[in-house]
Amino acid sequence: MAARKKQRVTLRDVAKFTDVSVMTVSNVVNGKIKLVGNATREKVERAIKTLKYVPSATSRKLRSMREFSIGMIVMDHELSFLANPFISQLVAGLSNHLSQNNFTLTVQGVAPDMFRGASLFSVAGTDALCAIMSGTNAERQKNVSFLLDRHQPVVLFQDTLNAGRSGIAIVNQDDEAGGHMIATHVLSRKAKKLLFIRPNTEWPAIEKREEGIKTAIAKKRGAKLSVLKCDEGTFQGAQAALTEYLAENAMPDAILGGTDALGIAAMRCCQDQGYVVPDDVMVTGFNGFAACNYSNPSLTTVTSPAYEMGEHAAKLILQRLETGRFSSRQTLFPVTFKEGESA
């Protein structure tokens, strides 16, 4: 009895066992049944079961020079980077569409200053990379250069860089229009003094929302905007910042949250101080995921097509891998105004 090293069962083992060539087994495994006779096929299939053969994905990747895998990197201060519903929807759309096409998705969250060190870049074999980033234009530009140096197509979400180079595609939602809609709505309800509550972090999507709000306000005589930045974009952080703000300032007519979570935090904060929403103060959010129905009153917001954006990115990438070029370099998804009870 030979010493049995614990070793992987390979195509060769199956071939030897069945007394056919390696290629025949490979063809059976890959379902290329046209290339294999019926009797041989069955024999091979039995052998595969008997020997409990499991193909090595890695070998196939190396030889075929394709990874069947996409990397998605999420730049976020928070450890629980997937808790953000925009991100989780985006990732789900991406992952699902890739799965349907026999690709996989490798996700990783990374702190802004650790971007380049992400293990995704060094250990994950990928055919293309997706990223959603915060930071200034210059910072993001540097990171994009880093991505492109990896000789892979890149898809950016919610980014304002222009896709000058042919290796990049950008998928955005129309945050500016969203900001405009939400501001226009509260203005039409006679709000004059608006407060935009947003994270302190530089974040392209938030800047766009703020721009949209400002545009709407500029058109309205007598309307005025203040902006409150929270150090942390969290629920508690927002409540702390707003409480401090209200201690020194009068209650505005409307508080516009940069995200749903910020809007709801603001709402609860006002309610705790005895204000009635929307009678004393209107409150709005941004993104329109499940949570906007959780508040009481329910949140007026703008819904994001995040899932669809993820799907779209997956389509773009698969096309790009097949044809060698992106079918479109910039995509702008419309957002939808969603009226709740809070404004």
Partner DNA sequence: TTGAAAGCGGTACCAT
Partner DNA sequence: ATGGTACCGCTTTCAA
Q: Give the interface with a second copy as residue ranges (CB under 8 A).
A: 8, 52, 54-59, 61-62, 65, 67-69, 79-83, 85, 88-89, 91-93, 95-96, 98-99, 101-110, 118-120, 122-125, 149-151, 235, 261, 264, 267-268, 271, 289-291, 293-296, 298, 307
Pick the binder of DNA from 4, 5, 49, 63 (CB under 7 A).
63
DSSP 43-68: HHHHHHHHHT----HHHHHHHHT---
- The rounded distance, in Å, linking the Cα atoms of 57 and 195 is 54
Helix, strand, coil shares of the chain as percentages rounded to 5?
A: 45, 20, 35
- Long-range own/partner contacts, residues 235-238 (CB < 8 A, 24 or more apart): 235/261, 235/264, 235/265, 236/265, 238/197, 238/262, 238/265, 238/266, 238/269
Report the nearest approach of DNA to the CB of residue 301 (Å): 48
Residue 201 binding result from a second copy, DNA, none, given CB thresholds of 5 to 8 Å by partner type: none
Report the nearest approach of DNA to the CB of residue 65 (Å): 6
Report the nearest approach of DNA to the CB of residue 27 (Å): 7
Q: Binding segment for DNA among 6-14, 204-212, 256-264, 282-290 (CB under 7 A)?
A: 6-14
Residue 150 binding result from a second copy, DNA, none, given CB thresholds of 5 to 8 Å by partner type: a second copy
- How many residues touch DNA under the rule CB under 7 A: the total is 31
- Which CB atom, from 31 or from 334, has the smaller least distance to DNA? 31
- The rounded distance, in Å, linking the Cα atoms of 327 and 315 is 10
Report the nearest approach of DNA to the CB of residue 167 (Å): 19
- The rounded distance, in Å, linking the Cα atoms of 143 and 148 is 9
**160-175 core/surface letters (b: 16 or more CB in 10 A; e: else):** ebebeeebbbbbbbbb
Contact positions toward DNA, by CB under 7 A? 7-8, 10-12, 19-24, 26-27, 29-30, 34-37, 39-41, 53, 55-56, 59-60, 62-65
